[in-house]
Structure 1
Amino acid sequence: MSDPAIDVTTLTAIDVHTHAEVSKSGHGALSPELFGASEEYFKAHGHRQPTIDEMAAYYRDRRMAAVVFTVDAEHATGHPRISNEEIAESCAAHCDVLVPFASVDPHKGRAGVREARRLVAEHGVRGFKFHPSIQAFSPGDRMAYPLYEAIEELGVPALFHTGQTGIGAGVPGGGGIRLKYSNPLLVDDVAVDFPELRVILAHPSFPWQDEALAVATHKPHVYIDLSGWSPKYFPPQLVRYANSLLKDKVLFGSDYPVITPDRWLADFEKLDIKPEVRPKILKDNAARLLGLLKD
C-alpha cells in the first residue's frame, strides 16, 4: 500500500507520534485535570493546543510529515473522545503532510471492531493508537483480541503507549491510571498471537527499557518510537540498539505539542548516531512501515 499524496522524497523527517488535543468545537481529548498534570510533567505550562489545520502548517513549514491521533478512553475516564472521523477528515484536507491514526477503546467490543474496519475502509485511517494505562486494560487481555485481529487483517500498525506517562502524574492516585498496563513486555503476547500485526512501542519505556528492546529484537514486526523524551535523556542501551540491532526498527516521534520536533531534532543532532542510521530513524523506517513509499 502506498500513499501518492505524500512525496517522501521531499521530506526531511516523518514524526510518527503527535496528538490531536482539541476538536474543532474546542472539546479536549482529556479532562482539564489530566491535561494539567501532563503539562506539569513536561514543563509545558500553558502550551497552546493547536488545531489539526495548524499542525499541518507547522509540519509543512518544516518539510515533515506527521502521524496524528487521539486516545479513546471513554470507558475508564468517562470523558468523551475527539471523533476519529473528524481527525481523519481534517488530515485528509492536508494529505500531503498528515497521516491519520484512530483510537478505539477495546472495551467497546464488537462495536469497536466494526468502527475500526469502517475507519480504514471509508476514512483512510492508517493505524491505531492504544494507551493501556489510560484505557485501563492489559494489552494481552483477550477482550482486545477481536480488535487486534481486525487491525492485523486491515494491514495497518497498532501503536501502544509504553512506560510511565505524564498524564495523571502528581494527581492523587495518579488520576486512577495504572502504570503496570504499559509494561512493553505485556505487548509481547500480542506480537506472538498476531504475528503479522505491525506493532509500535511508543517512547523510551521507563522503567522497562530493556523489556522493550528485548521484544523489538525478538519479534520481527515490533518497532520502537522515540517520542516523549528529549534525546539527551535516552538510556544508553536504547542508543546502542538504535545504532545496531534495531537500526531498521526505530522511529522518530516527538509527542507534539508537548515536545516540539524542533527541540527533539536539535538534541538528536548531538546524539552519537551513525551517519548512515540517522536517515533511517528520521524518515526511512517510518516511510516503509506506514506504506508511504510509492510502488
Structure 2
Amino acid sequence: MRYESAIDFAAVEAIDMHVHYETDTCGHHSMPQEYIDASAAYFKGADRMPSADAIAELYRGLNMAAVMFTVDARTQLGHLPNSIDDLVAAAARNNDVLIPFGSVDPRTGGDAITEAVRQVEELGVWGMKFHPSLQGFDPSDEQYMPLWEKISELGVPALFHTGQNGIGAGMPGGGGIKLRYSNPLLLDDIAAELPELKIIMAHPSVPWQDEANSIAVHKPNVFIDLSGWRPKYFPESLVRFASNMLSEKLLFATDYPLLAPERWLADFAELPIKDEVRPKIFKGNALRVLGVN
C-alpha cells in the first residue's frame, strides 16, 4: 500500500496544510485521553475525533485539499501513536482530497531515521510532522541532525509545531509539556545548515512571532502555516507583513478539528490583506512547498 495523489490541484480552491488525524480505525487515539480531554476544553471544538472519511468529506465539500497527520510522541507520553499505515490507507482511499504526512519520534534515534525512510519511500507520505514540546526534545540539538539530514535527502518538507501549546493547557504543569522547545529560533540552525530542507513553522508563534517572521524572511526554505488561531487573533506583525515580506511564505492552515475551516475563513476575510496575495496563501505557496508543478 502506497499513497498516490489524484488531487486536481488546478481545480481545488485551497490546500489546508494542517489537519489532525486523532484516532485510527482500531479506535487507538493519538494521545492519552487526559490530553485529548484537556485540548478539547481549550479549543472548545465540536467533534474532536472525526474519522478520516469524515475529514475527506468535509474538505471535498469545500473544494479543498488537506494535509493530514498525527504525531509520534511515544517516548514523552508513554503512548504509541495512532497508526501511520492506517492514516496513509485512509488518505489513499480519499486521494482526491487528502495528503498524508508521516511522523516519527526523534528520541528513538536510529529507529526514527529508519522509520522516516519507510514512511516516505514505502508508504508515500509527502512530509513529516514534529511537535517538539509534545515530543519533549530540542530540535536544534546536534543529536537530531542526522534525522533532519535524512528528511532533506528524502526531499519532503518538515512541519514543526511552534509557539503556544493548546495540548496540555490547563493540566497540572501543562501536562509536563515545555513551551521552550517550541521557540521557532530553535529551527533556525536547521534551516541554515540544510538549505534544501523545506521547513514549515506551524501556527502563529506566540509569544515569538517576531522571531518567526525574521526566520521566514531570512531563510528561503522556511514557511509559516497559519493554523491553530482564529485569524482575528493573529499577531499584528504577522498581518502587517502578510501582504509584503511574507506574501510568499504564508500557508493556509486551520488545525482542524480543533478549529473549523469555515470559522477560519470567515475571520480571514476580514483581515487587511491584499487581494492579490490571498491566492498565494490559500494555494500557491503550498504548491511550492509540496513540490507540485
**Fold in common (TM above 0.5):** yes
Residue aligned with 1:9, SS: coil
1:225-248 Cα offsets, whole Å, 9 max, x none, are 000000001111101111101101
Is the 8 Å Cα contact of residues 247 and 277 (structure 2) preserved in structure 1?
yes
Trace 1:31-110 onto structure 2 (pairs within 5 A). 31-44=32-45, 47-110=47-110
Task: State the number of aligned residues.
Answer: 290
Report the CA distance between 1:4 and its aligned residue.
6.1
| Contact 2:5 2:92 (8 Å CA) reproduced | no
The 5 Å alignment of 1:1-295 reads 5-44=6-45, 47-293=47-293
After superposing the two structures, state which structure 1 stretch, 11-20 or 143-152, moved more: 143-152
**Equivalent position amino acid for 1:19 in 2:** H
1:119 and 1:239 map into 2 onto residues whose CA distance is: 35
Shift of 1:103: 0.8
How many percent identity over aligned positions?
56
Counterpart residue identity of residue 36, structure 1: D
Task: List, as ranges, runs of 4+ consecutive aligned residues in structure 1 with deviation greater than 4 Å.
Answer: none
Judged with a 3 Å threshold, the aligned counterparts in structure 2 of structure 1 residues 131 and 48 are, in CA distance, closer, same or farther, namely closer
Partner of 1:10, secondary structure, is: coil
Cα distance in 2 for residues equivalent to 1:146 and 1:91: 28
Q: Partner letter of residue 287 of structure 1?
A: L
CA contact 1:161–1:202 (8 Å) conserved in 2: yes
Where 2:95 maps in the other structure, the secondary structure is coil
CA RMSD after TM alignment: 1.1
* Residue aligned with 2:40, SS: helix
TM-score, normalization by structure 1: 0.96
2:41 aligned counterpart, secondary structure:
helix
| CA distance in structure 1 between the aligned counterparts of 2:283 and 2:216, rounded to whole angstroms | 19
In structure 1, give the amino acid aligned to 2:52.
Answer: I
More displaced 10-residue stretch of structure 1: 131-140 or 188-197: 188-197
Alpha-carbon distance, 1:48 to partner: 3.9
Q: Unmatched 5+ residue regions in structure 2? A: none
| CA positional deviation for 1:209 | 0.4
Asked if the contact 2:5–2:95 (Cα under 8 Å) also holds between the matched residues in 1, the reply is: no
Q: Distance in 2 between matches of 1:177 and 1:184?
A: 16
- What is the letter of the counterpart of residue 209 of structure 1? Q
Distance 1:119 1:234 in 2: 34
